[in-house]
Amino acid sequence: MFTEKVLQLKYHNLKMLRICRVMAFMAFSLAAVMPFMPYSSAIYILVFVVLTVSTILVTFSLIQAFVGQRNATLYAIGRIALLVGCIMTGLLYLGLLKLNIAPHVPTMIGLTCEVIIMAGVLALRYNDERKAKFKIQQQALEQARRIKEAREEALIAESENSEKLEQMIQERTLELEITLRELNEANQKLTEQNTIDSLTGVKNRSAFDRRLVAEGRISRRQQTPMALLMVDIDKFKDINDKFGHLTGDYTIKIIAQMLNEYLKRPTDLVSRFGGEEFAIILPSTEAEGALQVAEQIRQAISESKIVHNDNHIPLTISIGVSADIIDSDEHPMLLLEQADKALYQAKRSGRNKVCYYTQEADQI
């Protein structure tokens, strides 16, 4: 059992390990049986077993010393000293050797040498284990240092990646905000383009219809009057036939500009209703105010001198006016219809006129 531990057979030779454990079992068995055997028989068995076991253990130690195990050489020397002492003791007990000493003396001498040598073996073994333990500790410390460095590098890399990711997110967020702003501006421009007449630059019919409904609701909720003006260029077909369609388009643009100039409030709206017709919404305006604005516009246009391509263009307009406080969702369209009737009355009565629709008598 001592040999098994010293030579570390568990790690170097499993076959030797099994043999040592079998011999240990036999030794314990003999220790239990020997007290009940005759001395003459027991001494022969004991000598044989001791010599055999010692020989086997010496052989094991020599084999391990040959393969380079450091402690095996000293162990073999100690075992050989004990073996020689046992052989001499055996020969003395058997009467094959005659010496003037007690038979057990050689064994005791061999055992003493073995104990001294084995103490050296144990010291070396302890030193080796201490060095191995120190080496393992150093390796553990080195591994811990590497793990710490790797962890610190990982933390630094994670921090750098986090900063890069945050920077990328900020850049992408900024890009997204810019894109959304540009998209919003483009959408506003598109919405504005969808509500602007391309020729005149004033609102188109679609914008007028939406605004008419909205201002009608405000008039109904606040009980304030709303006025509508329907404007038509007099004898526009003659202008197209005489001066051409480009001059006709120029005339329409000039009328739109002049209408815008006479609408001072931000809430007032002028729009191209269709062809040479324009519609004007005047929120919070009574009939008198609407007629006054209409007359100013009519007079300014009739007195204007419009020249295009060296051609003087005689230009007048007819205006139909209606005004009322809205009392239902259908009322704004009715008010528009009334302004349109007043416009046609102005056209039929000689043009270059302003006519007002009187709702109470259904008259112009």
Question: Judging by DSSP bridges, how do beta strands 306-308 and 225-233 pair with one another?
Answer: unpaired
- Identity of the amino acid at 97: L
- The SS3 of residue 37 is coil
From residue 222, how far is each of 281, 283, 327 by CA, in Å? 17, 11, 10
Q: Give me the amino acid identity at 327.
A: D
CA 32 to chain centre: 78
276 as an active site residue: the answer is yes
Do residues 109 and 85 lie in contact, with contact meaning Cβ atoms separated by under 8 Å?
Answer: yes
Cβ count within 10 A of residue 221: 9
- φ/ψ of residue 315, rounded to 5: -135, 130
Q: Could you tell me which of 328, 312, 323 has the C-alpha nearest to residue 354? A: 323
Beta bridge partners of 249: none
Which are the contacts of 108, defined by CB distance < 8 A and separation ≥ 6? 85
Amino acid at 278: F
Q: Report the sign of the C-alpha dihedral through residues 171, 174, 180, 184, in that order.
A: negative
Going by C-beta distance under 8 Å and a sequence separation of 6 or more, which residues neighbour residue 251?
233, 236, 239, 276, 306, 308, 313, 315
Catalytic residue among 129, 276, 286, 360: 276
Q: CA 349: distance to chain centroid?
A: 75
CA 354, CA 191: separation in Å to the nearest integer?
A: 34
Which strands sit side by side in the sheet containing 225-233, from one edge to the other? Answer: 269-274, 277-283, 225-233, 317-325, 354-356
Can you tell me the distance from the alpha carbon of 323 to that of 97, in angstroms, rounded to the nearest whole number?
154
Cα(298)–Cα(231) distance, integer angstroms:
9
Alpha-carbon distance of 140 to 134, in angstroms, equals 10
Catalytic residue numbers read 276
